[in-house]
Structure 1
Amino acid sequence: MHGKNKQSQWMSIFLCLFLFGCAQLETQNRSTRKSQPPSKDATFDDHATEVNQNDEESNDLQPAPTRPSDLEAPKVGLILGPGMALALSHAGVLREFDKAKIPVSGVVGLGWGAVVGGLYAKKGLANEVQWRIYKLKKEDLPERGFFSSALNGKSVDSVRGFLKDGFAKTMIQQSEIPFGCPMISLRRGLTVWSHSGAMADIIARCLAFPPYFKPVNGDLVGDLFALKESVAFLKKRGAQLIVFVNVLHKGELLPKEYLKDQYMSAILWAEIRKTVQNSYGMMSEVVQVDTTAYQLTDFEKKQALVMKGESAGAEAVKRLREKYRF
C-alpha cells in the first residue's frame, strides 16, 4: 500500500510539472517579451544541448517563413507529433511526401513520432520506414495489458530490441536527414537535444514518457510538449517551411475501461492535445491525419493506421504543390 501511495504521489508531482509547463507555454505565446541575447549551449551527456527561455531555439515564436521566392522550392522541416500507436500513421504521410519528392531538410519526432521520424531520417527512404512498421511483431509492441499497469511504469528496455534492430549502430550525426527528438531533464527542468550518439539509445530516451515508461537514468523523459522548441530546432537547420503532422483526434484517446484507474494518463493526453492545437500558429502547414476510429493503444492496427496516413499525406501533397509549386 505504501509503495502504491508513493507511486501515486510521484505521478501527481510529474503531472503538475507538465501542466505547469503547458500553462507557461501558453502564457509565453500570448505575451510580448523583451529580446535577450541567446545563452550558450550547455553540454549534457552525449553533447546534448540544453534549451532555456533565453536560448534562440526556444525564443522564436514567429510563424515559420513560407517561401523564399517563386523561383526555388522551400526547404521543408517536418514535425511528427506524438500519439503512441496513432503515430504509426506518420509512415503513410512520409510515403506520400517521398513519392511527390517533397524536399525534406530536417525531421523532429515527438514520442512515438520519434521512432517513425528517426527511421526516415536514417536513410531518407519512406519505403523502408513502412516496411519496418509492417514488420513489427506482436512481441515488439506494447500490448493493451501493458497499459493497464501503467502507474507502475516499465523500463523502456522493453522496446529497445526493436529499436536496435531498426537502427543497428547508426549514429544520429550520420543520419541522411538532420533529425532530433526533444527530451526533458527532470533534474534541470530543461529541454535537451542529443546531437551525437546511437540513434537507438537517443530515441529510447524520447519514448520514456511516464506513466508508461520510467525516466531513463531517473532523469530523462520525452518532451511531448516541445512544439516551440521543435520549430526553432528545424529553422536553425535551414528549414523554411515547417509542416506539422498531427495524429491526435478530438475523440476518446484511451479505452473507457482505462479511465477509472488511468485518469492521470487521460489528463496528460488531454493537455498534450490542447498544446498541439495551440501550436498551429507557429507552423507553416498542418497535416491532420484522421485517426478518429483508433486509440492510443491500437498498436495491432498498424496497417490501417499507415493507410490513414497515406490518405492524409496525399491530400497534403496536393495542397503544398498548389501553394508552393513543388
Structure 2
Amino acid sequence: METAYPVNLGIALSGGGARGLAHIGVLKVFEREGIPIQLLTGASMGGIIAAVYATGQTASEIEDIAVYMSKMRHLIRLLDIDRSRHGLLDQKHVRSFLTDIFGENSTFADLRIPLALTCVDLYRGKEVVLREGSLVDAVLATCAVPGLFPSVSIGDCELVDGGVLNNLPADVARTMGARHVVAIDVAPDLLQDRDARVDWPRFFPRFGRDLFLAETIMTSTITRARLEAACPDVLIRPVLTPNISIFWGFHLAADAIRAGEEAAEQALPALFSLTSRVDGPS
C-alpha cells in the first residue's frame, strides 16, 4: 500500500446498524461521478463498509454482498448465542464471514486506501484508533456493540464499538492528514428529527427499547459536539424510513442504499466544489 501524505480528500462513515447500508449508495455516487477517495475512517457499520471498500472492491460489489446477506436465512446464519456469557451473541460466525471477505491473514498494510477504524477501550475508557494489524480483528472490534457482542482483545486493550465515543470519526480523518473531509452520518438523531423515531417490533421488550433510546441520545449528543470541532467540509445525512433502524431493517438493504444515493446526489454541487479545491491549490 502506497500512501502520499498529506492526502486531500478523506471520507468518514458513521455507525448506524442497518442504516449504515446507505453508505453503499453514497459510495456508488462517488464512483459514478469520479470523486476520488484517498482516505477512509469509520465506526461500527461504517467501519465495516469502509474496510471492504478500502480493499479495492467497488460499491456495486459491496451492494451485491449486502443484498445477498439481507435475506433472513443468511442473516440468521451469522447469529449464535454466546454461551460464555461475555455477550448476547457469539462472534464466531461473523468472524468467519469477515475472513471470507478479507482473507485469513489480511492486515491494514494490504489495503488500497488508507483506513482508520475507531473503537473504545473498556479498561481505560478512551477512544482507540486502529490503523495497523489484523483487519478482521479490527472490524470485529469496531462493531462489537456492548452487551450484544463480547469485547475484542487487541494487545492489552478490550475493545468495543467505536460508536460509543466517536460514531462519526471526521476528526480522525483530519488527524490522518486529510485537507478536506466529507462526513456521512446515517445514525438517527432523535433530538432533532421526529422522522428518525423508530417503529418498534411488538416482540421487542420495553427495557431494550429504553436502553436503545438512551444510548442513541447520548451518541447523538457526542456526535454533534465532535462534528462541531471537526467541521467537515461536506456533511451528508441520508433520509431513512423508521423501519430501517440499527438492529433491524437489513432486509430493506435496497431501500437504504437508494437513500444513500439520493442524499449524495443532492450533495453533488458541494462535492464538485470540494473536488475542484482538492485538485487545485489549497
TM-score by length of 2: 0.78
1:220 aligns with 2:153: no
2:236 aligned partner, one-letter code:
V
- Write the distance in 2 (CA, Å) between the matches of 1:292 and 1:277: 21
- Distance change in 2, residues 1:219/1:140 (3 Å): farther
- For residue 291 of structure 1, what is the aligned residue in structure 2? 240
* Structure 1 runs of 4+ with >4 Å offset: none
- Write the distance in 1 (CA, Å) between the matches of 2:72 and 2:97: 11
- For residue 113 of structure 2, what is the aligned residue in structure 1? 177
- For residue 276 of structure 1, what is the aligned residue in structure 2? 223
Give unmatched runs, 5+ long, in structure 1: 1-67, 69-73
Tell me the CA shift for residue 246 of structure 1.
0.9
Cα deviation code 1:253-312 (max 9, x no counterpart):
461643612022221122112322333322221101001342221111111111111111
- For residue 280 of structure 2, what is the aligned residue in structure 1? none
1:141 aligns with 2:75: yes
Q: 251, 257, 260: which one pairs with 1:309?
A: 260
- For residue 248 of structure 1, what is the aligned residue in structure 2? 187
- For residue 13 of structure 1, what is the aligned residue in structure 2? none
CA contact (8 A) 1:108 1:179 kept: yes
In terms of mean alpha carbon deviation, does 264-273 or 108-117 score higher?
264-273
- Write the distance in 1 (CA, Å) between the matches of 2:207 and 2:223: 25
- Write the distance in 2 (CA, Å) between the matches of 1:132 and 1:116: 11
Cα RMSD after superposing both structures:
2.9
Cα deviation code 1:119-158 (max 9, x no counterpart):
1111163222222222325344369x999xx996212224
- Write the distance in 2 (CA, Å) between the matches of 1:323 and 1:231: 16
1:204 aligns with 2:129: no
1:203 aligned partner, one-letter code:
V
Q: 55, 62, 78: which one pairs with 1:122?
A: 55
Give unmatched runs, 5+ long, in structure 2: 1-5, 278-282
What is the aligned length? 251
| 1:90-101 map, 5 Å | 90-101=23-34
- Distance change in 2, residues 1:153/1:236 (3 Å): same
- Write the distance in 2 (CA, Å) between the matches of 1:82 and 1:309: 14
- For residue 165 of structure 1, what is the aligned residue in structure 2? 100
1:260 aligned partner, one-letter code:
R
Tell me the CA shift for residue 322 of structure 1.
3.8
- Write the distance in 2 (CA, Å) between the matches of 1:138 and 1:291: 20
- Write the distance in 2 (CA, Å) between the matches of 1:139 and 1:198: 29
Cα deviation code 1:4-62 (max 9, x no counterpart):
xxxxxxxxxxxxxxxxxxxxxxxxxxxxxxxxxxxxxxxxxxxxxxxxxxxxxxxxxxx
- Write the distance in 2 (CA, Å) between the matches of 1:156 and 1:259: 23
Cα deviation code 1:185-240 (max 9, x no counterpart):
11122222333223222101111111221212492101214449933432233211
Give aligned-pair identity as a percent: 21
- Write the distance in 2 (CA, Å) between the matches of 1:206 and 1:107: 14
- Write the distance in 1 (CA, Å) between the matches of 2:263 and 2:257: 10
CA contact (8 A) 1:156 1:207 kept: no
- Write the distance in 2 (CA, Å) between the matches of 1:235 and 1:278: 16
- Write the distance in 1 (CA, Å) between the matches of 2:93 and 2:225: 33
